[in-house]
Structure 1
Amino acid sequence: MDAAYAAHRAGQLRELYDDPDELIPMTVDGKTQRGTATADKPAQHRLGAQLAVDAIMVATLDVGSKSNEITAFSPLLDQIGCLKNVVISADRLHTQREHARYLHQREAFYVFPVGGNQPGLFDQLDALAWKDVPIEWTTYDRGHGRTEIRTIQVMPAPTGTRFPHVKQVFLLERHVYDLHWEPLSSVAVLGVTNLTAAMTTPRRLAELVRGEWSIENKDHYVRDVTLGEDRCRVRTAAAPSILATMRSYAIGALRLLNHTNIAEGTRWARDDFRNPLIALGLTM
């Protein structure tokens, strides 16, 4: 069922992005279906690839547990026939040399954060003279009783950077203050990408990094709060996987009809029996 779903969504991908030279932001992330856990069996974990801007799941795959995400990365993306010009963002777990080689081979791109799982690379980037690199993009967001400032600095990858096909390295910082400008938190993220400076601006690079963070709100929150995925106690055989794929299809169908609020979209589908048929592209 996962393969059939991915084939269906891949067919829609080129309709959403009809310019063959346009970059297609996509996020890879995993989610545990907590309701599938039993006394003697851990909860099922699924890995998914989602369009970062449109928030539509393109491919999914059962991986057993989060520790298996790394080996499932390539099989997940193998379900998508064409990855040319797709830009993959993911969390630090997937900052792997084999992942970078795989994406390069498939004419795709990556934007990866660098952390403790790549200590040599992290130390190399952390030692760069970031204080001499200008801040090239800044955003200010205010809401929920706080102000958030994000900045990004970008430089060409130095000779000898220990990661395949890397073209640029970056430092993204996020500072959060309360409404009286008292600091609440600060986060610094080092990263690598095989996108060249000619292919993307610092602003766009910052947006690609932020796209990986947004999957929590655009997918995981919707699944658990609106569709009750974690509350679902179906555990038998392939049923949890099938239901997860059906949720992906429902969310994607509503988003393709420009329902940005999935809770409102489900009410729209409920209120007239013809509406679900419209969402599925069927006519009476």
Structure 2
Amino acid sequence: MRLPCGPLHIARAWATEHGVALGQVATEDKSNEITAIPVLLGQLERKKAVVTIDAMGCQKDIARDIVAGGGDFVIAVKDNQPKLAAAIASVVEKHLEGELQARRHRNYQTDTHGHGRRDERFHWVAQVPPGFAAKGEWPWIKAIGTAVRITTHADGTQSDEVRYYMLSRFLSGKRFGEVVRGHWGIESMHWVLDVTFGEDRTRTRQRVLANNLSWVRRFAITLLKRHPEKDSIRGKMIRCLMDTSFLNEVLTLQGN
């Protein structure tokens, strides 16, 4: 029997507030994450949860399933949904021009310093206005949001980034900002998987084995993150190699 081989794409769920891997689903051969996300959502309890997904997950079926399961969504919107992106951009432009000042909207701003740079983040969320162009196709959208980040680097240069979002609930500005930051915190997990665990360098081509190894790595990250020791993931891994007592604490969650 020949086992399936080839590139493996995986849709993953991560509880950002607790640093716990909730689940993952490998895509079918010659498919992508869009088909795996609904399967993964079906395995999770969504009631009262806020589900965040990047722009690939900006699909009508996915939005409907999240709301049907009792949850809410904050999903990034990009050019893969051009009509929706244009409708949101139009609302934001009208707000900036002062045409929508009467509509309910909320703001939240943060200013942080670290790693040799300054990050100013501006979050704006508003109820969907009457006549919203995409309302008919996306009836689950109750609010739209914008997240702007302006980064001042050590050499004085600046860079900026603007993202649009659709929301199923009119969140507070602070909560919207926390959700957006929490989602992009997942990128730090991907960095750990790549740099610390060498996931991108793996040459495992057998799909079932690759999926199982991916699960093991995420389980390891969960255990290491939940240990209260103030150290990096790599530092904790090295200590586990050198100290069996510490390894036992990590494996049994005794340090919590």
The TM-score bracket by the shorter chain reads 0.7 to 0.9
The answer for the alignment partner of 1:176 in structure 2 is 151
Segments of 5+ residues of structure 2 without an aligned counterpart are none
The answer for the alignment partner of 2:40 in structure 1 is 76
**Residue in structure 2 matching 1:204, options 151, 155, 175:** 175
Q: Distance in 1 between matches of 2:237 and 2:225?
A: 11
The answer for the alignment partner of 1:59 in structure 2 is 23
* Percent pairwise identity: 27
Confirm or deny that 1:213 pairs with 2:213.
Answer: no
Segments of 5+ residues of structure 1 without an aligned counterpart are 1-40
Confirm or deny: 8 A CA contact 2:41 2:66 kept in the other structure.
Answer: no
Paired letter, 1:232: T
1:205–1:171 distance in 2 versus 1, CA, 3 Å: same
**Residue in structure 2 matching 1:188, options 162, 178, 181:** 162
TM-score computed with the length of structure 1 as normaliser: 0.75
The answer for the alignment partner of 2:122 in structure 1 is 151
- Displacement of 1:276 in angstroms is 3.4
Paired letter, 1:103: I
1:237–1:158 distance in 2 versus 1, CA, 3 Å: closer
Paired letter, 2:60: R
Per-residue Cα deviation, 1:116-140 (whole angstroms, up to 9, x for no partner):
1111111211112221357721111
1:86–1:66 distance in 2 versus 1, CA, 3 Å: farther
1:65–1:172 distance in 2 versus 1, CA, 3 Å: farther
1:282–1:263 distance in 2 versus 1, CA, 3 Å: closer
Q: Distance in 2 between matches of 1:93 and 1:110?
A: 14
Q: Distance in 1 between matches of 2:211 and 2:53?
A: 22
Per-residue Cα deviation, 1:58-110 (whole angstroms, up to 9, x for no partner):
10111157952111111112222x22111111111111111111001111110
The answer for the alignment partner of 2:95 in structure 1 is 130
Q: Distance in 2 between matches of 1:261 and 1:48?
A: 22
Confirm or deny that 1:272 pairs with 2:243.
Answer: yes
1:66–1:143 distance in 2 versus 1, CA, 3 Å: farther
Confirm or deny: 8 A CA contact 2:6 2:207 kept in the other structure.
Answer: no
Secondary structure, counterpart of 2:9 in structure 1: strand
Confirm or deny that 1:110 pairs with 2:84.
Answer: no
Paired letter, 1:195: R
Paired letter, 1:142: H
